[in-house]
């Protein structure tokens, strides 16, 4: 009885300390308005504090850098019709299933790379990440990434600089959003690329990256612990079929664009999608960034 009460008190103290840190960070940030205020929820502040080991000054600096980045990049303003051509092959998409903990799953297929513009590739990925966050289940803050290397080669690989820019955006502006990243059956030649790229990862992110090989028993146990094989596509050792229908996915994204507009307080109209594209006349009228 005493131990149970002691444990309860410990959890209560942790919660109080956490709330105090959140309040301290919010006060340090000063008055916020518009999109910055909308972005900086308590859950958001917790993620930045966790990313900086609950150091308020470091979390403040990190969050302020994100607010500057969001004001310039405007990720919440990107609409599917602007990046749909990047998604034609399904190189990055939100899966129609969740992991065992109910987290949103992103599927990346670098072997399906279809364009060469670093800027457009990054905008497309940021759009998918923002969309996945929008579709997180209540109480969920993180997502799982599955990377399928089927068809991957040095010819389809993104340049190291682009990979570094993507990693910087993910680590610096979407902290604690990644639960785990599965690199499934990468070819041996990928090791040379990985030896360079891994140095761009901070220690926390590095620990979340797992190499999984279908002939390795330990690897398969990792997959079984995270995913239901009935939902998991065959490309990742499951029993389901991985099919990407660009037109259907585009309809779903166009519908989500309306939800995004509503979330951020934009004036938006539903898009009519044909062959995976929507007309530019449906572009939402967005207020100036805060």
pLDDT at 288: 37
pLDDT in 10s for each residue of the chain, 290 residues = 445 555 556 667 788 999 999 999 999 999 999 999 999 999 999 999 999 999 999 999 999 999 999 999 999 999 999 999 999 999 999 999 999 999 999 999 999 999 999 999 999 999 999 999 999 999 999 999 999 998 888 777 888 899 999 999 999 999 999 999 999 999 998 988 999 999 999 999 999 999 999 999 888 898 999 999 999 999 999 999 988 999 999 999 999 999 999 999 886 554 544 445 545 433 333 333 43
pLDDT at 26: 97
Tokens of 160: 């190291």
The answer to whether residues 163 and 197 touch, using CB atoms and an 8 Å cutoff, is yes
pLDDT at 52: 96
DSSP tag of 212: E
Hey, CA dihedral for 10, 42, 252, 106, is it positive or negative? negative
Tokens of 60: 């403040």
Tell me how crowded residue 272 is: count the other CB atoms within 10 A of its CB. Answer: 12
Backbone φ and ψ of 264, nearest 5°? -95, 0
pLDDT at 220: 86
């Amino acid at each position: 009885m005493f131990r149970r009460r002691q444990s309860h008190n410990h959890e209560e103290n942790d919660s109080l300390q956490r709330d105090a840190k959140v309040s301290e960070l919010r006060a340090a940030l000063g008055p916020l308005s518009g999109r910055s205020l909308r972005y900086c929820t308590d859950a958001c502040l917790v993620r930045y504090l966790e990313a900086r080991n609950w150091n308020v000054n470091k979390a403040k600096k990190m969050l302020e850098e994100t607010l500057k980045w969001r004001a310039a990049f405007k990720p919440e303003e990107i609409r599917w019709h602007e990046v749909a051509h990047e998604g034609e092959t399904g190189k990055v998409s939100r899966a129609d299933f969740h992991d065992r903990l109910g987290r949103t799953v992103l599927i990346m297929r670098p072997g399906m790379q279809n364009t060469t513009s670093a800027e457009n590739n990054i905008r497309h990925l940021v759009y998918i990440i923002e969309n996945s966050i929008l579709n997180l289940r209540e109480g969920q803050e993180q997502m799982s990434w599955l990377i399928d290397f089927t068809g991957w080669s040095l010819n389809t690989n993104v340049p190291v600089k682009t990979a570094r820019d993507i990693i910087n955006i993910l680590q610096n502006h979407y902290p604690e959003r990644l639960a785990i990243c599965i690199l499934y059956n990468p070819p041996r030649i990928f090791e040379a690329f990985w030896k360079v790229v891994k140095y761009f990862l901070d220690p926390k992110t590095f620990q979340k990256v797992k190499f999984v090989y279908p002939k390795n028993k330990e690897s398969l146990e990792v997959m079984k612990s995270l995913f239901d094989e009935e939902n998991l596509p065959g490309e990742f050792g499951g029993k389901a079929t991985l099919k990407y229908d660009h037109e259907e996915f585009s309809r779903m994204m166009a519908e989500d664009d309306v939800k995004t507009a509503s979330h951020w307080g934009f004036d938006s109209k539903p898009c009519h999608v044909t062959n995976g594209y929507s007309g530019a006349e449906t572009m939402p009228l967005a207020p100036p960034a805060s």
